[in-house]
Amino acid sequence: GNSVTQMEGPVTLSEEAFLTINCTYTATGYPSLFWYVQYPGEGLQLLLKATKADDKGSNKGFEATYRKETTSFHLEKGSVQVSDSAVYFCALRPTSGTYKYIFGTGTRLKVLA
Amino acid sequence: EAGVTQSPTHLIKTRGQQATLRCSPISGHTSVYWYQQALGLGLQFLLWYDEGEERNRGNFPPRFSGRQFPNYSSELNVNALELEDSALYLCASSLPGQGYGYTFGSGTRLTVV
């Protein structure tokens, strides 16, 4: 079946540090892949997406590349800010069937000034 | 363009009562998805509606139900509330088909006392 595995949190970094949040998936075919961010007390916001192999999604300094060979979609940012503190969810949308998203369990990021 | 709107923002109910949560999708979006986010847990898929029909259901008891209206807005009903139903309920909408991202609402925080 389809599944998404994210690294356990929380991740605590100092401001301007490099961020990587690992995400791997299991799916048949070529799912679309997404990263969502949830700030405290809010719903989820789409951060970036990639719909085919080798696509790179990017937004607000965050990047993730769809790696079919390693079934991964790791989230990276070169220099984090305190305002990036949030929970990050990796998700996939299957290529057929229900189209409902499969979410990872979320990774909490805390950035210290 | 208005985003996905959910109401009410907060809802407090007594165990055994019924709760009704509402969601208005983005104009043009025909699919509506409901997710439950309990404290400390990830997103659990509840229901998917498209074109007025229930397309898929998550692993929740029948007291969780809903419907989608002709204008594509949706309602989630939870009967015989239990304490463990306390959670953030998120609604998302999307265009039909694979590759389109969800747009989430800000959620309804349901507290059962």
Interface test mutation site (partner A, options B50, B98, B103, max chain A beta carbons within 10 A): B98
A/B interface, count of CB pairs below 8 Å: 58
* SS3 at position B46: strand
Q: Which two tokens stand for residue B52?
A: 């007025």
Which amino acid is it at B60? F
Chain segment B37-73, per-residue pLDDT in tens: 987 778 899 999 988 999 889 999 999 999 999 999 9
Please report which confidence band the pLDDT of residue A93 belongs to, taking 50, 70 and 90 as the band edges: confident
CB B99 within 8 Å of CB B78: no
The overall average pLDDT reported for chain A is: 92
| Over residues B74-83, mean pLDDT | 98
Q: Which among B94, B59, B78 is positioned nearest to B13, based on CA atoms?
A: B78
Chain segment B2-18, per-residue pLDDT in tens: 789 999 999 999 999 99
Set of chain A residues whose Cβ sits within 8 Å of the Cβ of B6? 43
Q: Which of B43, B55, B99 sits opposite A103 (nearest CB)?
A: B43
Q: pLDDT at residue B107 above 80? A: yes
Q: Which among B45, B48, B24 is positioned nearest to B35, based on CA atoms?
A: B45
How far apart are alpha carbons A104 and A7 in whole angstroms? 9
How far apart are alpha carbons A102 and B106 in whole angstroms? 19
Q: Which two tokens stand for residue A14?
A: 């100092």
Q: How far is residue B26 from each of residues A9, B32, B92, measured CA to CA in Å?
A: 32, 10, 9
Chain segment A4-32, per-residue pLDDT in tens: 999 888 999 999 999 999 999 999 888 89
